[in-house]
Amino acid sequence: MGGREQIYIQQAFNTNWIAPIGANVDGFEKDIMNYTGVKSATALSSGTAAIHLALIMLGVKSDDEVLCSSFTFSASANPIVYQGAVPVFVDSELDTWNMCPILLEKAIKDRISRGVKPKAIILVHIYGMPAKMDEILAISSKFEIPIIEDAAEAFGATFKGNALGTLGEIGVYSFNGNKIITTSGGGALVSNEKTYCDKALFLATQAADKAAHYQHSEIGYNYRMSNILAGIGRGQMEVLDNRIAARRANFEFYKKNLVSENIEFLQEPEGYFSNRWLTCIVTKSLNQRENIRLKLKKENIEARPLWKPMHKQPIFKDYPNFVNGISENLFEKGLCLPSGSNLTKDDLNRVVSAIKS
């Protein structure tokens, strides 16, 4: 925590706004807008809820198809299935590990040739690294398929100076406990089209029509963020730049001390600014990766393989996919190193020596 979170929480208690409404919710949304430059924001209970509402607002219904990055956490794809729709997974490219524009276009053409035009693209910025936005935005507008930017891991990252989450139709942030800043659990849906955020607010608060009594013309959800948790968010916004600097420093330290012909790091292409949420290494083989992981484990240092691609997950393996082997290769050889914002030089040195040994 940054230290000032409890001041905002205390304000909620002092004013008795212990509810999913209040000054902290409004203040946190303003903070998100100011930081990212996006025109509107709706604070929600999770990033998953934000993706779900984004799909609903883009009209995704039963049997519709939605393109989705395969190299991601399952929460990117689960809401597609909540809607009864079909995820179509698209593999990564090597420069950013995100959705490959060539495969994306191939997937769109293939689905259209089968008579189903995908309704949306869920584009993930994995580990905080921006996807190839120029190419992907061009494909999105050429085929008129809107983008939901899953920037759950990429809050504070930018592409050519613009905040991730603000470049597609709708953007999604997560403030879960493991993300770069946290409200314990929480998320936000953002857009430069205010109507999306207004509609998300309506849907997230049980879709109550404007009337004195309780009247409902649409199915609603209970997805709003608590005013207490938004207080944590306001405190966290004050240290976001700090956290990004700490994560980027972790990355630089590991890279300086470990980069070799056996261990590779993901570079930032020109104009891409990653928040370096997690520092990842890519080894030469599954065997080498496991040797490192198990050695770290022995030293009581937690390190996990990179995301297992969605098209390889038991629950998603039978859905259509467009793959090139890149995410499978990353899953096999990659390892996320300890990346917390509070790691000390001693901690970092301990990880580096364990890996070197």
Ligand X SMILES: *Cc1c(COP(=O)(O)O)cnc(C)c1O
Of 46 and 274, CB closest to ligand X = 46
What is the closest distance, in whole angstroms, from the C-beta atom of residue 224 to ligand X in the complex?
Answer: 14
Binding map of ligand X across residues 20-59, x = CB under 6 A, - = no contact: --------------------------xxx-----------
Question: From the CB of residue 262, how many other CB atoms can be counted at a distance below 10 Å?
Answer: 13
Contacts with ligand X in 73-102 (CB under 6 A)?
A: 73, 75-76
Please state the closest distance from residue 2 (CB atom) to ligand X, in A.
19
237 vs 258, which CB is nearer to ligand X? 237
Q: How far is the CB of 318 from ligand X (least distance, A)?
A: 22
**Cβ-Cβ contacts under 8 Å for 300 (sequence gap 6 or more):** none
- Smallest separation (angstroms) from ligand X to the CB of 257: 27
Residue (6 or 184) nearer to ligand X, CB: 184
Main-chain phi, psi angles of 148, to 5 degrees: -100, 115
By CB atoms closer than 10 A (0-12, 13-18, 19+), residue 241 is exposed
Between 148 and 303, CB nearer to ligand X:
148
Give the range of 67-75, 80-88, 163-171, 217-225 binding ligand X by CB under 6 A: 67-75
Please give the size of the binding site for ligand X, defined by CB under 6 A. Answer: 14
At its nearest, how many Å lie between ligand X and the CB of residue 150? 5
Q: Which of 309, 319, 277 is nearest to 99 (CA)?
A: 309
Using CA atoms, how far apart are residues 230 and 221, in angstroms rounded to an integer?
19
Cβ nearer to ligand X, comparing 59 with 177: 177
197, 172 Cβ separation under 8 angstroms: no
- Nearest partner of 100 among 146, 73, 59, 67, judged by Cα: 67
Q: State the sign of the Cα–Cα–Cα–Cα dihedral 108, 112, 114, 115.
A: positive
Q: How far is CA 84 from the centre of its chain?
A: 22
Min CB(355)–ligand X separation in Å:
24
Q: Which is nearer to ligand X, 43 or 88 (CB)?
A: 43
Q: How far apart are CA 122 and CA 103, in angstroms?
A: 14
Q: Is 187 in the site for ligand X (CB under 6 A)?
A: yes
Q: Which one of 11, 162, 176, 257 is in contact with ligand X (CB under 6 A)?
A: 176
Give, in order, the Cα–Cα distances in Å from 268 to each of 35, 62, 193, 274, 277: 22, 38, 30, 7, 13
Task: Tell the smallest beta-carbon distance from residue 175 to ligand X (Å).
Answer: 7
Residue number, nearest CB to ligand X: 47
Q: Least CB distance from residue 56 to ligand X, whole Å?
A: 16
| Residue 5 interacts with ligand X (CB under 6 A): yes or no | no
Q: Does residue 321 bind ligand X (CB under 6 A)?
A: no
User: What's phi and psi for 259, nearest 5 deg?
Assistant: -60, 135
**Residue 174 contacts ligand X per CB under 6 A:** yes
Residues 111-170 interacting with ligand X (rule: CB under 6 A): 124, 150, 152-153
What span, in angstroms and rounded, lies between the C-alpha atoms of 266 and 232? 32
43/258 with CB nearer ligand X: 43
Q: Which two tokens stand for residue 164?
A: 């991730």
Those residues with Cβ within 8 angstroms of residue 334's Cβ, 6 or more apart along the chain or in another chain:
280, 281, 282, 283, 289, 305, 306
Least Å from the CB of residue 182 to ligand X: 9
Contact 76, 150 (CB under 8 A): yes
**For residues 179 and 263, which CB has a smaller minimum distance to ligand X in the complex?**
179
Determine how β-strand 65-69 pairs with β-strand 120-124: parallel
Enumerate binding residues for ligand X (CB under 6 A). 46-48, 72-73, 75-76, 124, 150, 152-153, 174, 176, 187
